[in-house]
Amino acid sequence: MNNKEINPGAAPAGIVGLGLMGCSITTCLLMAGHPVVAVAPIPADVDTAEPRVREHLKKCFEEGLTDREPDYWLAHLTITEDYGALRECKLVIECTLEDQAIKKAVYEKIEAVVPEDTIIASNTSAIPISLLQRGAKVPSRFLGLHWAEPSHTTRFLEIICGDSSDVQKAEWLYEFSHVWGKEPTLVRKDIRGFITNRLMYAMYREAFSLVENGYATVEDVDRACRNNAGYWMTLVGIFRWMDLTGVPAYHTVMKDLFPTLNNQTTVPKLIDDIVKAGGKGVQNAKGFYSYTPEEAKLWKETFEAFSYEIRRLALKYPADVVKKKLAAADKPKKDI
């Protein structure tokens, strides 16, 4: 149970962009004890953001993530169209559309009002930070801060340095983000897609290749993925998994399998056709599967319920779970 409270004297955290992720990041920061100034870059956000954040906070209260009701947290949230409200912030997180020109225009407005030592971070999924920080007034204070949706339940966070970023600022954020309930990853050198998207997209590419070449259906690929990697990935990552299951076997398989893996550099036809026909997935009930509106709604609700449940399980297995067990048993530390 989070029994944190807001420190009203603390500098507020700033958010710019109040769509899906901006609202869940706002929820996470409030419950971590920060007053939050949230800037709506488009007027439509002003009406939708507060109910969205309220709904997240209500769910968090019901699920036991906080012992305080939404009104307590919301009293420390300012939603405004005025960038000037960010002037006291030591950290501003940009969360606007995945569009370089839009993001750069937003940075100009942020830099015009915040002090020189304020960290400006982008939640970009894949635009290199080195490109985003180019042309900024103070490029060294720009970092990537890549969250996973829904940010108030997930422990994922990537902190990414661009070519001109101050690594010390990234290290500071890395340490600090534990307060937000994260198990962060520090990406010291910029690379497109950072770590997680490079791993995931390698898997997506192979998944398309298997389906498009008739080896398996979408359903079968999904089932294999859920019941293999989906079974252990909340406990361990790829390298620990190989340690757990025997390293030499992987060495043997790699020699013969790697040359056969897909290395296509264009967007697969299967996804291209869906997107060109307007398919968005469960959002409009048109994706790789077809949904009735009722099924699409139920998938959204099921995903939300699952995200709270997997969080409860994940909290039992932090990255240092074995060290903790040893410390609890008061055994001497070995090379773990």
Ligand X SMILES: NC(=O)c1ccc[n+]([C@@H]2O[C@H](COP(=O)([O-])OP(=O)(O)OC[C@H]3O[C@@H](n4cnc5c(N)ncnc54)[C@H](O)[C@@H]3O)[C@@H](O)[C@H]2O)c1
Contact call for residues 31 and 60 (beta carbons, < 8 A) = yes
Residue 301 CB burial class (10 angstroms; 0-12, 13-18, ≥19): exposed
Contact call for residues 184 and 174 (beta carbons, < 8 A) = yes
Q: Which stretch binds ligand X (CB under 6 A): 146-154, 232-240, 249-257, 321-329?
A: 146-154
Contact call for residues 57 and 73 (beta carbons, < 8 A) = yes
Nearer to ligand X, 6 or 95 (CB): 95
Q: Is 196 in the site for ligand X (CB under 6 A)?
A: no
Q: How many residues does the chain have?
A: 336
Nearer to ligand X, 21 or 57 (CB): 21
Using only C-alpha atoms, the chain has a radius of gyration, in whole angstroms, of 21
Q: Pick one of 12, 14, 19, 181: the residue that binds ligand X (CB under 6 A).
A: 19
Nearer to ligand X, 9 or 43 (CB): 43
Contact call for residues 158 and 188 (beta carbons, < 8 A) = no
CA dihedral 28, 29, 33, 36 (to 10 degrees): -140
CB of 127 to ligand X, least distance (A): 7
Nearer to ligand X, 194 or 208 (CB): 194
CB of 132 to ligand X, least distance (A): 10
Cis status, amide bond into 150, omega within 30 of 0: yes
**Contacts (CB under 6 A) with ligand X, residues 116-145:** 123-125
β-pair type (13-16, 36-39): parallel
- Both tokens of 126, joined, read 């894949």
Nearer to ligand X, 96 or 165 (CB): 96
Number of residues that bind ligand X (CB under 6 A): 21
Q: Is 304 in the site for ligand X (CB under 6 A)?
A: no
**Contacts (CB under 6 A) with ligand X, residues 33-92:** 41-42, 45
Q: Is 97 in the site for ligand X (CB under 6 A)?
A: yes
- Both tokens of 32, joined, read 């971590």
Fill in the per-residue mask, 23 to 42: x = in contact with ligand X (CB under 6 A), - = not in contact: ------------------xx
CA dihedral 286, 290, 292, 296 (to 10 degrees): -60
Distance CA 186, CA 194 (A): 10
Q: Is 96 in the site for ligand X (CB under 6 A)?
A: yes
Q: Which stretch binds ligand X (CB under 6 A): 68-76, 96-104, 167-175, 250-258?
A: 96-104
Distance CA 66, CA 2 (A): 5
Q: Is 177 in the site for ligand X (CB under 6 A)?
A: no
Nearest-CB residue for ligand X: 19
Cβ atoms within 10 Å, residue 101: 8
Nearer to ligand X, 6 or 181 (CB): 181
Residue type, position 102, single letter: I
Distance CA 91, CA 71 (A): 24
Q: Pick one of 31, 95, 120, 187: the residue that binds ligand X (CB under 6 A).
A: 95
**Contacts (CB under 6 A) with ligand X, residues 270-299:** none
Q: Pick one of 10, 82, 100, 102: the residue that binds ligand X (CB under 6 A).
A: 102
CB of 307 to ligand X, least distance (A): 12
Q: Is 150 in the site for ligand X (CB under 6 A)?
A: no
Distance CA 330, CA 255 (A): 43
By CB under 6 A, name the binding residues for ligand X: 17-22, 41-42, 45, 95-98, 102, 106, 123-125, 146-147, 149
